[in-house]
Amino acid sequence: MSVFKRNGKGNYYIQFNYRGKVYIKSSRSTNKATAARMEREWRTEIHAREELGELPDITLEKAMEACISSKPNPETRRYYKQHTAAIRSHFDVSCCLSEVRDWSLSKFKAERLKEGVSEATIKHDLNVLKAAFRWAEENGFNCPQLRWPTAKPSKSRLRYLSLTEEVRLLKELDPTRPIKGRPPYERRSYEERESMQDNYDLVVLLLDTGARYGEIANIQWDSIDMNSSQIRLWRPKVRNESVLFMTDRVKAVLSRRYDQRNSKYVFANRSGGPRGHQTAGIRNAFKRAGLAGFRVHDLRHTCASRLIQNGMSLYEVSKILGHTSVQTTQRYAHIEMVDVSRKARDIMNTL
């Protein structure tokens, strides 16, 4: 019998011999009819592969999970999980890879753009999706040959906040601000007030540290030294660590949060884990503040631009931003040139 229970109890097992090789696995079901159906499907799959040269199918969900599990580095796995969340929200991940078509990839890109996501983020999403297909192909599963849409980071003009725009933005993020259709601050739920305060505090830290969103959103308290006013910032993208000193308002924010902490994370989700990629509330504040086309990553540009405008060199700013090469910081060179040009004018005027 190819379908049986071990010791007459528990789940049914499937076992049969095909061309001298024994195949056996659990059906994970106590229903004999279900186990028998699975046995027939398994036999058909093996016959198609061995006799007809057909490759087995695998679902998108299983391919992504296997691809993530194959990554030895925890930070890499976290990066993949972050982007698979976006993929799951736009794809039926229970479908087989062989069912994915070119048009579904183009649709995914269009929907992400409509959400206001940057081309750079979409590029990462597609790279993670592509990696799942590559893993499946390397492990002998049926994969279609697809034309992957391109996603190129914009070469548009560098965007950063003026001081006036920052005031406007922080006003729109103020947790105590009156909101049309919502009760006064004191009567709002604890969860709503906490969420709004998190958005405000996170933006302040991003403005004053120049850190990437994920570096601050997922930071733990053991990286914060309140006595010395230092933040030991681990940067997963470039795999290095920076030590940043807190500005007065960053210290005020972290001191308040430290006294109220109930998780090892500075910005925790409802279950006490890391906040993760939750930017909808911040992006809505950009719109209310009239900051058309402004992105969360532009807060990092704002910090860098202000440092250069107030006398720091590109090399020094590269260290603050955690760039592995000063060449990456060259995008701010035109800002430094404004100060250089001003100095040149003053020198010429004295001659």
- Which residue, among 292, 296, 268, 269, has the nearest Cα to 282 in the 3D structure? 296
More confident of the two residues 339 and 133: 133
For residue range 267-292, list pLDDT tens digits in order.
Answer: 999 889 999 888 999 999 999 999 98
Sign of the C-alpha dihedral, residues 103, 55, 3, 9? negative
The pLDDT assigned to 19 comes to 78
Count CB neighbours of 333 within 10 A.
11
Q: What is the Cα–Cα distance from 185 to 215, expressed in whole angstroms? A: 30
Q: What is the pLDDT of residue 162?
A: 93
Rounded CA separation 210/237 (Å): 14
Residue 54: per-residue pLDDT = 67
Residue 8 has pLDDT above 90, yes or no: no
- The owner of tokens 């006064």 is 184
- DSSP per residue, 268-324: B-TTSSB--S--HHHHHHHHHTT-TT--TTHHHHHHHHHHHHTT--HHHHHHHHT-S
Q: Which residues make beta-bridge pairs with 23?
A: 16
**What CA–CA distance (Å, rounded) separates 321 from 301?**
10
Sheet containing 224-225: give its strands across.
224-225, 230-235, 240-245
Mean pLDDT computed over 312-338: 86
Residue with tokens 């996603």: 151
pLDDT at residue 65, as a whole number: 93
pLDDT for 13-56, tens place per residue? 988 888 788 888 888 889 999 988 888 888 887 776 666 666 78
Spatial CA neighbour of 93 closest among 68, 64, 117, 122 = 64
51 or 343: which leads in pLDDT? 343
Share of the chain above pLDDT 70, in %: 96
User: Can you give the pLDDT at residue 130?
Assistant: 93
Kindly report, residue by residue over 220-265, the tens digit of the pLDDT. 999 999 999 999 998 887 778 889 999 999 999 999 999 999 999 9
Q: Tell me the three state secondary structure of residue 225.
A: strand
Q: Is 154 strand, coil or helix?
A: coil
The reported pLDDT for the residue numbered 71 is 87
Q: Is 78 helix (H, G, I), strand (E, B) or coil?
A: helix
* 69 dihedral zone (left: phi>0; alpha: psi -120 to 50; beta): alpha
- Asked if residue 195 has pLDDT above 70, the reply is yes
Q: Which amino acid is at 190?
A: Y
N- to C-terminal Cα separation, the chain: 102
Q: At what angle do helices 190-209 and 298-309 cross, to 10 degrees?
A: 40
Per-residue model confidence (pLDDT) at position 143:
86
How much is the mean pLDDT over the chain? Answer: 88
Number of Cβ within a 10 Å radius of residue 143? 22
Q: Model's pTM, two decimal places? A: 0.63
Is the confidence at residue 167, as pLDDT, over 90? Answer: yes
Q: Which residues contact 49 (CB under 8 A, 6 or more apart)?
A: 55, 56
With 80 as the cut, is the pLDDT of residue 342 above it?
Answer: no
Which pLDDT belongs to residue 55?
74
User: pLDDT class for 301, splitting at 50, 70, 90?
Assistant: very high
Q: Is the pLDDT of residue 157 over 70?
A: no
Q: Say yes or no to pLDDT of 305 above 80.
A: yes
Section 88-110 average pLDDT: 89
Rounded to a whole number of angstroms, the CA Rg of the chain reads 27
